[in-house]
Structure 1
Amino acid sequence: MTTTYDVVVVGARVAGASTALLLARAGLRVALVDRAAYGSDTVSTHGLMRAGVLQLSRWGVLPDLVAAGTPPVRRTLFHYADGDSVQVSIRPSPGVDALYAPRRHLLDRMLVDAAAAAGAEVHHGVTVTGLLEADDGRVAGVRLSDPQGTPRVLRSRFIVGADGIRSVVADEVRAAVERRGTSAGAVLYRYHAGVDAAGYEWAYGPGTAAGMIPTNDGLTCVFVSTTPERMRTLRRGGAEAAFDSLFAVAAPDHVSRLRASEPTGRMHGWGRVPGFVRRSWGPGWALVGDAGYFKDPITAHGITDALRDAELLADAVVEAAAGAVPEDVALAGYQARRDALSRRLFEATERIAAYDWDLLTVRRLLREVSSAMTDEVETLEGLPVRHESAGIAPGIRPDRALARE
């Protein structure tokens, strides 16, 4: 069975669902496919930064997220093992009344639902087994397999790989890695009831970091992170002992709060993946989210990056599909803009994820992260609100839209 689309998006998490939403609202025929089940959870840092909240607000998704009980975060606290704590209030701005840290099964589901409401065809539980290639070498579609092993082909003018750090799309097109990081932390996290986090709370001690992030259902995501070598050594005594030991190093003044809370669910672990930047476009294909650009989660910016890059890519694809800009120019421009916005944050994250800093140095690095985030917000605030309703994006004549098969 073969079906033809304007765009097939592989991966229905934040990056893919957002890209499909924006492309469908712009009037393109979009298929969104994912091997995971609808509404499933995934490993996540949870926290949305100001730029991410701004995107969800501009797209009309934020009200539903708030209505679902996602708690507002109105301040960020930085705790240091030398006893110093710094509080930063979240100043309301248009579209951003607070920050939020939704559970991923909630956020991903809402974005998928919004994409479907905009007209995207959504297929969960299907696996990409390969890409189609035209005679001229251009990517021309995907091969899928459903849970019963039934093959299916989706043809399209564009394929978007939003399928994570181990992207099948990136492998199939042999996307070159243009920059490799050298730092990679190791993380343990779990959910606690009764922590009563005052906002986003980040803590830093010698060679380790921790955080308390308020999320849905009255729970707080509590994490610890350090080098893979140190984590491996500590985990010989068990994950619980490693978690408690690292939290005490990073946040010694807050151990009593943790002990008074109630752990909920199992411990999650993740790590030892250095950051990278892949070439993220070619004839008929593009990469978005962790498939194209990944950095260590210590700066909790992955979701925000995914939302930002979904809009940058969607604009480029719409312009190319409508014939307003040559495809290679539009897609190269997408990657150049993404890389320019990411460079400072990537570099600061690399240095924090090395865990070789002292407390004076990490304070300076965190100021660099904050400055990079400000640049990002200013760029996004300057983008036109192109995706509020159905139809080809304003500024692109409807009669130049991609012709239907």
Structure 2
Amino acid sequence: MSAQYDVLVVGGRVAGASTAMLLARAGARVALVERSAYGSDTVSTHGLMRTGVMQLSRWGLLDRLTGTPPIRCTTFHYSDREPEQVPIRALYAPRRHLLDRVLVDAAAEAGAEVRHGVAVTSLLRDDGGRVTGVRTRDGSELTAGITIGADGIRSTIASATGAPVVRRGRSRSAVLYRYYAGVESTGYEWAYAPGRGAGLLPTTDGATCVFVATTPARMRSLRRGGTEQAFTTLLADMAPSLTDLLSPATPVDRMHGWAGAAGFFRQAWGPGWALVGDAGYYKDPITTHGMTDALRDAELLSDALTGAGPESAALAKYQATRDELSTALFEVTESVASYAWSLDELRVLLRKVSSAMKAEVAQFAL
């Protein structure tokens, strides 16, 4: 049976939609399937770092982030000293219902066939064991030359292929976040006190995402008194300057939470399949780099699949490059997410976070 598509992408969020768009722009017959509804929201750190912004600009999509303000400074608040402000090039923190929709629309405009509300249940394989497509919950089959799992940390594709975890982290952040109106900030605001952290990210349509993070054990203990109390307790005494920013603000929606998960690197490819985004590589959200990783790896994978040479060699190079660009930031994120630091130690770690981003900026500035 001939394949319906050259590429089938399972998962239509940042990683999957970007991969589908790039491959369709390169001339491949692409199908993109996503189990959630078009334009739906999802748990997210929102922050796009420099590499992600560079890519969206190069792809002609940055100006579609309507209502999302440019962020031109970062302020670090500490409980033991005055805040430190750092100017930055324009960054963005879009809501996911906007960013994901922009990327999905761009994939469809490039010629990808996009289907929402499609849940994949199992893989199809040929007699030699190569993945040849998927079977969906309604019993239909979609066949493709290569199937890409972009379906998150609990990836159905990763599970069905048996993709092994080749490295696993140990640290985890438990997070609560909510959107506020009336926060008088025009930049990223990161705040730290012993054993906890917080952030303010100006996002779409005048809202600001405010999050608090700590260890899962401490979060569970605090939440016994209720989610609101846990949120308030973690923000309390974080830094006086942060309290001043939040005092005139009002919440505009419910509280969201993330219980935490250990980071990992999975084997990223095999016969007829590949993984991208959180399906293949995930790290703790405390360094707010997940969406940037997803955009980065989408481009690395699409370049591998559209280049010359054997598929196996191209995909092996994709994984090697992903790991090379990810390792330093993964390791320092593990340290930050341990919450076992003193504030002096944390300041050293945050400088390492900044340094660890330089390699991927150089990779995509070529």
Normalising by structure 1, what TM-score?
0.89
- Cα deviation, 1:275-323, whole Å, max 9, x if unaligned, reads 000001000100000000000000000000000000000011112xxxx
* In structure 1, C-alpha distance between the alignment counterparts of 2:177 and 2:46, rounded to whole Å: 11
Shift of 1:2: 9.3
Counterpart in 2 of 1:64?
64
Matched, 1:172 2:160: yes
Counterpart in 2 of 1:343?
327
CA contact (8 A) 2:167 2:266 kept: yes
* In structure 1, C-alpha distance between the alignment counterparts of 2:93 and 2:160, rounded to whole Å: 33
Matched, 1:192 2:180: yes
CA contact (8 A) 1:2 1:154 kept: no
* In structure 2, C-alpha distance between the alignment counterparts of 1:124 and 1:379, rounded to whole Å: 33
CA contact (8 A) 2:149 2:275 kept: yes
Letter in 2 for 1:352: V
Matched, 1:138 2:138: no
Shift of 1:373: 1.0
2:265 aligns with one of 244, 263, 277: 277
Counterpart in 2 of 1:24?
24
Could you tell me which runs of 5 or more consecutive residues in structure 1 were left unpaired when the two chains were aligned. Answer: 92-97, 383-405
CA contact (8 A) 2:108 2:114 kept: yes
Letter in 1 for 2:261: V
- Residue aligned with 1:48, SS: coil
- Residue aligned with 2:91, SS: coil
Counterpart in 2 of 1:241?
229
* In structure 1, C-alpha distance between the alignment counterparts of 2:26 and 2:251, rounded to whole Å: 44
Counterpart in 2 of 1:123?
115
Letter in 1 for 2:19: T
CA contact (8 A) 1:196 1:220 kept: no
Counterpart in 1 of 2:96?
104
* In structure 1, C-alpha distance between the alignment counterparts of 2:113 and 2:3, rounded to whole Å: 11
Shift of 1:254: 2.0
* In structure 1, C-alpha distance between the alignment counterparts of 2:11 and 2:87, rounded to whole Å: 35
Shift of 1:42: 0.2
- Residue aligned with 1:348, SS: helix
Counterpart in 1 of 2:249?
261
* In structure 1, C-alpha distance between the alignment counterparts of 2:325 and 2:236, rounded to whole Å: 35
- Residue aligned with 1:196, SS: coil
* In structure 2, C-alpha distance between the alignment counterparts of 1:78 and 1:8, rounded to whole Å: 42
Shift of 1:88: 1.1
* In structure 2, C-alpha distance between the alignment counterparts of 1:254 and 1:123, rounded to whole Å: 43
- Residue aligned with 1:175, SS: coil
* In structure 2, C-alpha distance between the alignment counterparts of 1:173 and 1:55, rounded to whole Å: 30
* In structure 1, C-alpha distance between the alignment counterparts of 2:272 and 2:88, rounded to whole Å: 41
- Cα deviation, 1:105-131, whole Å, max 9, x if unaligned, reads 000000000000000000000110111
2:353 aligns with one of 359, 369, 383: 369
- Cα deviation, 1:146-165, whole Å, max 9, x if unaligned, reads xxxx3211111100000000
Alignment of 1:205-244 (within 5 A): 205-244=193-232
Counterpart in 1 of 2:34?
34
CA contact (8 A) 1:201 1:211 kept: yes
* In structure 1, C-alpha distance between the alignment counterparts of 2:247 and 2:83, rounded to whole Å: 20
Letter in 2 for 1:246: L
Counterpart in 1 of 2:363?
379
Letter in 2 for 1:42: T
Counterpart in 1 of 2:75?
77
Counterpart in 2 of 1:396?
none
Could you tell me which runs of 5 or more consecutive residues in structure 2 were left unpaired when the two chains were aligned. Answer: none
Matched, 1:332 2:280: no
Letter in 1 for 2:87: S
* In structure 1, C-alpha distance between the alignment counterparts of 2:272 and 2:3, rounded to whole Å: 17
- Residue aligned with 2:15, SS: helix
* In structure 2, C-alpha distance between the alignment counterparts of 1:28 and 1:250, rounded to whole Å: 51
- Residue aligned with 2:143, SS: strand
* In structure 2, C-alpha distance between the alignment counterparts of 1:160 and 1:24, rounded to whole Å: 14
CA contact (8 A) 1:3 1:153 kept: no
Shift of 1:249: 3.9
Letter in 1 for 2:346: V
CA contact (8 A) 1:39 1:106 kept: yes
CA contact (8 A) 1:185 1:353 kept: yes
* In structure 2, C-alpha distance between the alignment counterparts of 1:49 and 1:80, rounded to whole Å: 22
Letter in 2 for 1:306: A
Shift of 1:369: 0.6
Letter in 2 for 1:8: L
Letter in 1 for 2:28: L
Shift of 1:360: 0.5
Letter in 2 for 1:128: V
CA contact (8 A) 1:81 1:204 kept: yes
* In structure 1, C-alpha distance between the alignment counterparts of 2:64 and 2:107, rounded to whole Å: 14
CA contact (8 A) 1:11 1:161 kept: yes
Give the 3 Å change call, closer, same or farther, for CA 274–165 of structure 1 in structure 2: same
* In structure 1, C-alpha distance between the alignment counterparts of 2:173 and 2:107, rounded to whole Å: 34
Shift of 1:251: 2.8
* In structure 2, C-alpha distance between the alignment counterparts of 1:62 and 1:195, rounded to whole Å: 24
CA contact (8 A) 1:2 1:152 kept: no
* In structure 2, C-alpha distance between the alignment counterparts of 1:230 and 1:35, rounded to whole Å: 33
* In structure 1, C-alpha distance between the alignment counterparts of 2:271 and 2:238, rounded to whole Å: 47
* In structure 2, C-alpha distance between the alignment counterparts of 1:127 and 1:3, rounded to whole Å: 20
Counterpart in 2 of 1:13?
13
Give the 3 Å change call, closer, same or farther, for CA 196–246 of structure 1 in structure 2: same
